[in-house]
Structure formats: C-alpha cells, structure tokens
Structure 1
Amino acid sequence: MALDQPTEKKTEEAEMGFLDHLEELRKRLFWSAVFILSAGITLFICKSWLFETVLFGPRRIDFASFRAWCWLSETIGAGQTLCVQEIRYELINTTMLGNFTTHILVSAIGGFIIAFPLVFWQGWLFIRPALKMAEVKAANGIGLSSSALFFTGVAFGYWVIAPLSLQFLGNYELGDVEARISVMSYMKTIASITLAAGLIFQLPVVVYFLSRAGLVTPEILKSYRRHALVAILVIAAVITPPDLTSQVLVALPVLVLYEVSIVISRRVIKRNAERA
C-alpha cells in the first residue's frame, strides 16, 4: 500500500497536467475564434467594399496590377506583351442561398486573414510554456516575422497570382462553350489563391521550427531543390497565362523563399550544434 500511494499521486498530477493543457488549448482556440469572428463580422457589414472593390477588382481591366504590368511592358520595350484582355465571362448565381452563402464564406476567410497575427500569437502562447527559456529567447520576433510573411504572401496572391489566373482561366476558350461562372466558384478561386499564397509564404517559419526540432536539415532541403523547382514551375504554368514572363512573376518569389529557408535551416542547425 505504501508503494501504491505515491504512484497514484503521480498519476493524478500527470492527469491534472493533461487537463490543464486541454483547458489552455480550449482558451486559445476560443480567443482565436473570437478574433476571426470579429474580423469576419466587420467584413460582412462592409459588403459593398468587400465585393465591389476587393473581390471584383481583379476581373476589371483597370485593376492596378494590370495597369502596372502594361506600363512595365511598354517601358522595357516589350510592346503590349503584359497588357491584358477584358474578362468576358459573366458571374451568375444559380441557387436561392448562393449569394448569402458566398457572402458568409468570403467574410470568414477574410476574417481569418485579418486575424492571422492574433491567431498565431494564441498558438505561440499555448506552446511557449513547454519551451526552455533559451528556446523562447531564440524565437523572439517569430510572430512579427510570420505575420509579415503571411501578409506579403496574401498581397502577392491578390495582386499577382489571382489576376493572372483570372485572366488565363476567364479567357480560356473551349469550342462554342460560353463561359458563365457561378459567383461562388469565382469567390472560391480568389479566396483560395490569396489564402494559399499567404500560407506558402510561411515556409521559412515552418522550416525554422522543424530545424529547431531536428526534423529538417539544409542537406535535406538541398536534395529536394530540383523537385521543388519542377513543382513550382509546373504550378506556375498551370495557373498563369502561357507566357514566360507571367510564369516567372509567380515562380521567382517562391523559389527565393525556398532558398531563404535553406539559409535559415543552416543557421538554426549551426546554433543547435554550438549549444550542444
């Protein structure tokens, strides 16, 4: 009996520790949901600006990105190579709840994008107690870096990838088939491209943490460099018009991110070796 009691006490302490972690996770998820919901409701209220200015902007020929590319094309003596055509398809709604559902979906995704720094901060507050003081100090500024990379990716997706994709897909012809795109399909395309670009730009942050954990090394990243290059070029070729300039505009920043991730991994591994 005397030996059993300490064992039971340790089990209870371990169980309480586990329950405390669950309670902390619930708290962080709750606040993340509050931040996303608050931002989403704000966007939902600003319906006219959200749709007419933000979401429908990339399908207009006077969109800022289109004007900038056309100016650049003429400046470098390439004529109107980068000048775009007017998107000819019309947006339609085919269901009773279509417009309302689209409004909610877009507001939710936009809410997550706006609240991302706060959501990331909640995640950091959850994992920070499990880290050593040296690890916490080493990760100082990671929240700011992650947020900056995320919003840079979102901007890149919205101002570069989305307009190019809409131009290519919107003007893609298939015989006598008339393009009439549902508003939900259009919004999903814009939202998914923008959000995906923001998440892809988190690659250096992900590599940082994986390198800290010893799961990724610069050698591994270098060995997959060619695979990454091929994958990036294929994706760029699929989602952009079939001209080299557009594909380079999309592929180059992602390739730079991959190379930056290799440098980050090398520095992290070096610091780990110095502390060992």
Structure 2
Amino acid sequence: MEQPQEEMSFLAHLEILRWHIIRATMVIIAVALLAFFFKTYIFKYIILPHTQGDFPTYQFFCEIGRYFGSETDFCQQKLPLVIQNRTMTGQFSATLWISFWTGLVVGFPYLMYEMWRFISPGLYQKERKMAKGFIGITSILFFVGVLFGYYIIAPLSIHFFATYSVVDGGQMVKNEIDIASYIDMLRSSVISCGLIFELPVVIYFLAKLGIVTADFLRKYRKHAIIVTLILAAIITPPDVASQVIVSIPILILYEVSIFVAKIVQKRQERTKLN
C-alpha cells in the first residue's frame, strides 16, 4: 500500500516550516517594496477612486436608480468627504501599510504554494498530485473575494458613511476622514472578503479530517443562514440592500461547500471499499 513519506521529528518539521515561512515572507516583502516604488499609481488609481462619484460601482447603482425613475446619492460627482492626514508620519505609515497589504494580496498564490509544500510530504502520492489544483483554486477564490470586497463591500461602506450625517445636508458636521481610518475600512473590506471566499477550501480539509460532513452542513443550513446574515450586518453598512448583496455569495459558497464535503465523503468511502 502506498504510504506518505517517512516521518520526521518535531524539530525537523519546525525547521522546514521556518524556511517555508522565510521564503514566503521574502516574496511578500519583495512585492511590498515594488508597491512602495509605485505608491503614487496605487493610491491614485486603486486606493482613492472610492471617493469619486465616477467609481464603477456608484455609476452602476446610479443607473439602476435612474432606470426606476429616481436620482440616488450614487449619482453624485464627488462624495461629501475629505481625506486628510493629521499626523507627521501619517502618509508615510499609510504607504507602508498599503505596500504590505499589496504584497500579501499579490503574493497569496506563492504563500499557498509554500503551505502546500509543507503539508504535501505527509500525504499520499495521489493527494500530492492535487497541488496545482489546490494552489489554483485557493488563489482564484481569494482573488474573487478580494474583487468582491473592492467593488461591492468597500464602495457601499465608504459611500454610506461618507454620505451619512447627523444633521440633514451635512453642513454643520463635515466628514473629514483621517487617511488611516479610510485605509482601514478599505483594507478590512477587501481582505475579509478574500478570506471568507476560502470557505470551500476550509470545508474540504475539515471534511478530509472527518470533522464535518455534507449531512452535517445540510442539517445546520438554517443556522448558517442566520450566521451569514449576522456576518453581513457586521461587514456592511446598516442597510438591508447591502446585507442582501453580501449574503448571496456567502450562501452560494456554503452550498458549494456542501457539494465539496459530499465529494470528499464519497472518495473516502470508495477508498475504504478498495
């Protein structure tokens, strides 16, 4: 019978893990340094466009409103907010953080590659052949989540809080947002969605370990819906439309996870029979 590679000591595993982490970190740092060099382009065309009324998401919802005969706040030429820096090192710190997160996002496939290289020696030959599929699927899901966060969650959140005012018209209390606060909202929206979209991958490994099954996921589907709505309420502005928009892909991912768990269970049953 085919066996995984020979077992190693705990310290040997730690040493191997250390080098995987070092290599992944070096790649992330290299991309971060490159991002720092192109900071002007990144801030102008990726970070700050959410403050402009011509951002694609705003235009899309504006056209939907016009289709139904109403002029919404999404049709504004510019959001009623000012991005400002109030500390001596604020802009430099913002550049460092954006460079780091850019390195992490762009370097994510290589991070998954190093992770797979660490765990693959403990797997069977057939399972190790899935390396390319694992790296590809996790990367695609992550980038789709990042794009969803960038084009849906982030603009909806930024637009809501930029246009919200305790006084009608917003003349008495103006939204002058610190650059660190703005970047934190953008970052949390994008990265959190990227991680949430990894749900099928997480379920795959949990199913492989026998922790969850397709029947278990079906049984607690109603509970998952409630958790999804709570999660959507946390990461989106407090309006029903935004929460529904966020809930739909998460629920789809949950159904995909059930399908993934079912496939894993069938494969394990087939292996036992053989």
Is residue 161 of structure 2 the alignment partner of residue 169 of structure 1?
A: yes
Counterpart residue number, 1:154: 146
| Bigger Rg over Cα | 1
Please, what TM-score do these two structures have when normalized by structure 2?
0.88
In the other structure, the counterpart of 1:101 is 93
Q: Deviations over 1:163-212 (max 9, x none)?
A: 00001112222245432211001001101110111111000011111111
Alignment of structure 1 residues 39-188 onto 2, 5 Å: 39-75=31-67, 77=68, 79-80=70-71, 83-85=74-76, 86-137=78-129, 140-175=132-167, 176-188=172-184
Distance across 2 between alignment mates of 1:243 and 1:196: 20
The alpha carbon displacement at 1:66 in A equals 1.5
CA distance in 1, matches of 2:259, 2:73: 33
Match of 2:190 among 194, 206, 216: 194
Measured after TM superposition, the shift of residue 92 of structure 1 is: 1.7
Is residue 73–residue 82 contact of structure 1 (8 Å, CA) maintained in 2?
A: no
Shift of 1:22: 1.8
Task: Say which SS state the counterpart of residue 83 (structure 2) adopts.
Answer: strand
The answer as to 2:237 corresponding to 1:240 is: yes
- Percent of aligned pairs with the same residue? 36
Q: Which runs of 5+ in 2 are unaligned?
A: 1-5
Paired residues, number: 261
Contact preservation (8 Å) 1:164, 1:241:
no
Deviation, structure 1 residue 100: 0.8
What do you get for the CA RMSD once the two structures are aligned?
2.1
Paired residue type of 1:170? A
The alpha carbon displacement at 1:138 in A equals: 5.0
Offset of residue 141 of structure 1:
0.6
Structure 1 residues 80, 224: CA separation in 2 closer, same or farther (over 3 Å shift)?
farther
Find the residue that maps to 1:174 and give its secondary structure. coil
| Cα pair 1:69 1:82 within 8 Å, conserved | no
Runs (5+) with no aligned partner, structure 1 = 1-12
Structure 1 residue ranges (4+ consecutive) displaced by more than 6 angstroms after TM superposition: none
Q: TM-score under structure 1 normalisation?
A: 0.87
1:222: how far off? 2.2
